Amino acid sequence: MPPNGFTFRAVLFDFDGTLADSYPAITASVNHVRAQYGLPPLPQEEVRYYVGRGPSYLIAHTVPTGDAAQNVARYKAHHPSVMRDGTRLFPGVADALTALKRVGLLLAVCSNKPRAFTVALLDHFGVGPTFDLVVGPEDVPRPKPAPDMLTNALRRLSVPNDAALYVGDMTVDIETARGANTAVWVVPTGSDTRATLEAARPDRILDRFAELAELLGQANA
C-alpha cells in the first residue's frame, strides 16, 4: 500500500459544480421556462441552490406554476441552445483528468444531469475520451441521493465499492456515496458552502481540483 494509503481503482464524478460551472446555462433555461408564465428572471445565486438533484427538483423549486412535466420538457428542450456557451470547466479539471487517466484509474461521471447533456459537454470540452462511462438518471431506478448511479457504474466497471472514490460538491453527493459504501471527497465549488460540506463530514475536502491528481497520481503511480 502506498504511504498515503489510497488504493482506488476508479474515480467517479458529479458534473455540475464539480467538474464544471454550469450555473449560467442552467439559470438561462430556468428563466426561459419562467418567462412562459410572465415570471421575472431569477438570479443565478438563487437558482444554484436547487441544482444537483435533477431537472424535476430544479424546476419544481424555481417555476411555481404550470404543469410540472411540461415545464421540465421545456427546460430540456431549451437547454441545448445555451449549455455550451453557458458552461465552463473549472480550472485544472482537464489536466487533472488526464493525469488520473495516465496512472491507470478508471473514470466515470455519475450525475443527476440528463446523460445526453453531460456527454455533449464532456465532448465539447475535449475530455470525453478520458471517461470510461457516463451514468445519468435515465440509467437507474432512482436519482441521487439514492446510491443507484454509483452501484450501476461500479458494476459495469467491475470495481468493488471499497476501491472507488466519488467526488462531488454537495451534501447530496456525500449522502449518495455513503449509501453506496464508497469513499467521498468534495470540492467547495458548487451549491453548498464549505461549512455545510464540513458539517456533512466527507472523507476529505479538496481546496482545489488539481489536488485530486496530486494525491491520486502519487498513490497509484
Please state, in angstroms and rounded to a whole number, the distance separating the CA atoms of residues 12 and 9.
10
Please state, in angstroms and rounded to a whole number, the distance separating the CA atoms of residues 71 and 76.
9
14 among known catalytic residues: yes
The dihedral built from the CA positions of residue 159, 151, 144 and 15, taken in this order, carries a sign that is positive
Please state, in angstroms and rounded to a whole number, the distance separating the CA atoms of residues 193 and 216.
24
Q: Nearest CA to 152 among 45, 12, 31?
A: 12
> Would you please indicate which residues are annotated as catalytic (active-site) residues?
14
